[in-house]
Structure 1
Amino acid sequence: MSLLSDLLDHIPPTIAGADKPTMSNRAPNRPRLVLVERPAPTLAKTYTNAANATPEWRHARDQYISHLMACRACCAPTDRYCLAGADLRATYDRIPMESSP
């Protein structure tokens, strides 16, 4: 005999449905789960990315990233910049990515 069958021999059998509460003795204020039909998501007509960004934004981004790659004093994840890096970051943040219609 296996170890599992020895363990199962000592567990008393359960009667089907004995542990389940009936509808009359369930809590009346218990919240019920309801399936909600959600409308299909609408897809954006345009995507905002660097390919369709303004040339001014791309230029500011390129200057900022080029400076970060070369400067040992700047660390973007910790928001630590040298004076030139802080100016480039401020310019990058100030210029809008999309042109206003």
Structure 2
Amino acid sequence: MRQFIREHVTELLAELSAANDSTHIPPAPAPTKQPTAYPTRHILTAATASPEWRHARDQYINHLMTCRACYAPTSRYCQTGDELRAIYDSTPMEPTL
């Protein structure tokens, strides 16, 4: 093997330099088309809700935390809790534009 390399060193070097030549680099794949504009989505959370809804929610929750007669898991409310729950349920979460 060593003898073969000694006898053909110039041809082997020419082959190696041709393989490493920058003109023989295969072209990069074509980029995939990306949409020009992504559709916008509006996700409703407490952070994006209307100020009226947040106020109604806060009043309802604050009442529940202090009232011994209200128990939300079984929908048992005092008169004030029932009124606050009705206001909370009827207030739209979406901000009006």
Given the two structures, how large is their TM-score scaled by the length of structure 1? 0.55
Q: Secondary structure at the match of 2:84?
A: helix
For 1:99 and 1:53, the matched residues in 2 are separated by: 6
Match of 2:84 among 78, 82, 88: 88
Residues 17-74 of structure 1, C-alpha deviations (whole Å, 9 max, x = no match): xxxxxxxxxxxxxxxxxxxxxxxxxx97111100010000000000000000000000
Match of 1:69 among 65, 70, 92: 65
Alpha carbons of 1:44 and 1:71: their partners in 2 closer, same or farther (altered >3 Å)?
farther
Q: Secondary structure at the match of 2:95?
A: coil
Could you tell me which runs of 5 or more consecutive residues in structure 2 were left unpaired when the two chains were aligned.
Answer: 1-38
Structure 1 residue runs of 4 or more that deviate by more than 6 Å after TM superposition: none
RMSD of Structure 2 on Structure 1 (CA): 1.6
Given the two structures, how large is their TM-score scaled by the length of structure 2? 0.57
Structure with the higher helix share, 1 or 2? 2
Q: Percent identity?
A: 61
